[in-house]
Amino acid sequence: MSRVRSLVVISLCTAAGLALGYGLARRSPSSSPTPPPSRSVSDLGEDFALPGLAGEIRDILLKRDALERASELSLLLGGLGRESLPQIQAAYESVFMDIADVELILLAEWWARFDPAGAFKWARGQWNTRHPAVMTAILRVWGRSDPRNAMLAAGLGPDPGVTRRWSDAVLRGWDDSDVGGLLDYVESMEASPGRQWVLYTITRRKVLRDGAEASIAWAEALPDDDVVFKLNVFRRLGSALAEVDPAAATAFAERHEAGPYGKHVPRRVATRWGVREPEAAMAWLSSLPASENREDGILETYRQWMNRDEVAATQWLLGRSFEPWMGPAASIYARKLVLTDPEQAVEWVARVDEGELRVLTRAVVVREWLIMDEAAANAWLERSGLPAETVERIRLVPEAYRVRARLRALSPG
Give this prediction's pTM: 0.74
User: What tens digit of pLDDT does each residue of 85-123 get?
Assistant: 999 999 999 999 998 899 999 999 999 999 999 999 999
Per-residue model confidence as pLDDT tens digits over 315-331 = 999 999 999 999 999 99
Query: How many CB atoms lie under 10 A from the CB of residue 333?
Result: 26
For residue 160, is pLDDT > 70?
yes
pLDDT of residue 183: 86
> String of b and e for 131-159 (b: at least 16 CB within 10 Å)?
beebbbbbbbbbbbbbbeebbebbeebee
Q: Span 352-373, mean pLDDT?
A: 94
The pLDDT of residue 399 = 81
pLDDT of residue 411: 64
Looking at residue 195, its pLDDT comes to 82
The answer to whether residue 2 scores a pLDDT higher than 60 is no
